[in-house]
Structure 1
Amino acid sequence: MLKKDLRLKYSRLRSSITPTLLTQQSIAIANSVLQLPIWENQYFHIFLPIEKKLEIDTEGIISILLGFDKNVIVPKVISTTELEHYLLTDNTKFTTTTLDIPEPIDGITIHPEKLDVIFIPLLAFDKIGNRIGYGKGYYDRFLNQCRSDVIKIGLSLFEAENEIDDISTTDIPLNYCITPIKTYSFQTP
């Protein structure tokens, strides 16, 4: 399927999820994170969900990371093409943007090259680790700023598509994708 068709399909599927089911699925995904071979790392980047788009609630994953004394970094949109990344601390204050994205107001910035693991929001992914988001390219540009060995973990409410037909050379594949039912592992070049 083409990206535009997948975006439409998965936006519709997501809109049919009840708040109770979203909570249950978010907890299942958070519990699966514990099984990944990522715990020797220190710097974990994670998105904060856009509630109106019924994105996975990452609060459980954040609690697990903080419980393991990991450095948790959250993004902030600073332009139409760029993200900035902030260390989550007890003093971090948040605001909600006009797009309903929760973001840190300010704080300690962390350069992308310092990151070890990145949890990535997505709408759909395929069986070889390609993913699609909303089509703005924020995460592809961000991932290009990271080290080549950064671990990329997608979080999805739905299982893998067979194939995304129109993958481009700028699309960066995942190492893992966690759904409420299964954890996918992908070989990356």
Structure 2
Amino acid sequence: MKKEFRKKVIGDRKSKDIEFINKNSSIITEKLLSLECINKANNIMLYLDFNNEVKTDDLITKLISLRKIVSSPITLKDERKLVPTQITDLHNGIKIGAYGIREPKNDPNLEVNVNDIDIVIVPAVAYDRECYRLGYGGGYYDRFLNRLRKDAITIGIAFDLQIFDSVPKEEHDAQLDYIITETQILTPRK
């Protein structure tokens, strides 16, 4: 069930042209930057976009210009673990890592302590209206999010086409604090 659902949503997202991706990524970036929690945060982890995901390079550049500590995960496949690593240079400080996804170059001096992270902007294949995410199937982010401080904020960014009334989920799947799309900001009903 999850596998087929994932495949369909990724296919729908991949079918969108670059104009759609760029325009809506820009709208989502502006919405994110207007959130009070983003403005108050010092330390923000987010993903480097891949495969027609919401683009994050512009967001990263803007967050760095606001003097935020910005990190992205290095994926350790053998340990099935994410290591948040600070981005200091979006052009020369990035390499292609596990699964063909861009990630910061490995520099132990730039590793970020999980307890210092205020906000994590999370990738996903799809989300439901209660802010549960359907990831790519490796469980990396679900395990990582469980290690965050209790007051850390989790945000999913996606295009409207990735939002559903419900997504296949299991007990360990993470519920996020916000989902932001080009037309809406979702929060879990309390």
Shared fold, TM over 0.5 = yes
Q: Secondary structure at the match of 1:99?
A: helix
How far has the Cα of 1:103 moved from its partner? Answer: 1.3
Shift of 1:116: 0.4
1:162 paired with 2:162, answer no
Contact preservation (8 Å) 1:175, 1:187: no
| Offset of residue 129 of structure 1 | 0.8
Q: Which amino acid letter does the alignment assign opposite residue 166 of structure 2?
A: E
Q: Distance in 1 between matches of 2:177 and 2:82?
A: 21
Match of 2:58 in 1: 60
Q: Which residue of 2 aligns with 1:18?
A: 17
Number of residue pairs matched by the alignment: 184
Per the alignment, residue 40 of structure 1 pairs with: 40
Residue in 2 that maps onto 1:75? 73
* SS state at 1:134 partner: coil
Is residue 115–residue 149 contact of structure 2 (8 Å, CA) maintained in 1?
yes
| Aligned-pair CA distance for 1:145 | 1.1
In the aligned structure 1, how far is the partner of 2:146 from the partner of 2:182?
28
**Aligned residues of 1:124 and 1:158 also touching (Cα < 8 A):** no
**Misfit runs of 4+, over 4 Å:** none
Flag structure 1 segments of 5+ consecutive residues without an equivalent. Answer: none
Q: Deviations over 1:123-150 (max 9, x none)?
A: 1111111111111111001111111221
- Is contact 1:46-1:74 (8 Å) kept? yes
1:187 deviation in Å? 4.6
TM-score when scaled to structure 2?
0.89
| Structure 2 unaligned residues grouped into runs of 5+ | none
Q: Provide the rounded CA distance (Å) in 2 between the counterparts of 1:175 and 1:12.
A: 26
Partner of 1:133: 135
2:104 aligned partner: 104
Once the two structures are superposed, residues 67-101 of structure 1 have per-residue CA deviations (whole angstroms, 9 ceiling, x without a partner) of 21111011111124111111111496221136221
Of the structure 1 ranges 72-81 and 86-95, higher mean CA displacement relative to structure 2 is found in 86-95
Whether the 8 Å contact between 2:87 and 2:93 is mirrored in structure 1 is: no
Secondary structure class of the residue paired with 2:72: strand
Per-residue deviation, 1:151: 0.5
CA distance in 2, matches of 1:66, 1:98: 25
Percent same amino acid among aligned pairs? 27
How far 1:167 sits from its partner (Å)?
2.0
What do you get for the CA RMSD once the two structures are aligned? Answer: 1.8
Measure, in 1, the Cα distance between the counterparts of 2:7 and 2:106. Answer: 34
TM-score (norm 1): 0.90
What's 1:49 paired with?
49
Partner Cα separation in structure 2 for residue 26 and residue 146 of structure 1: 26
Q: Which residue of 2 aligns with 1:172?
A: 174
Residue 149 (structure 1) aligns with: 151
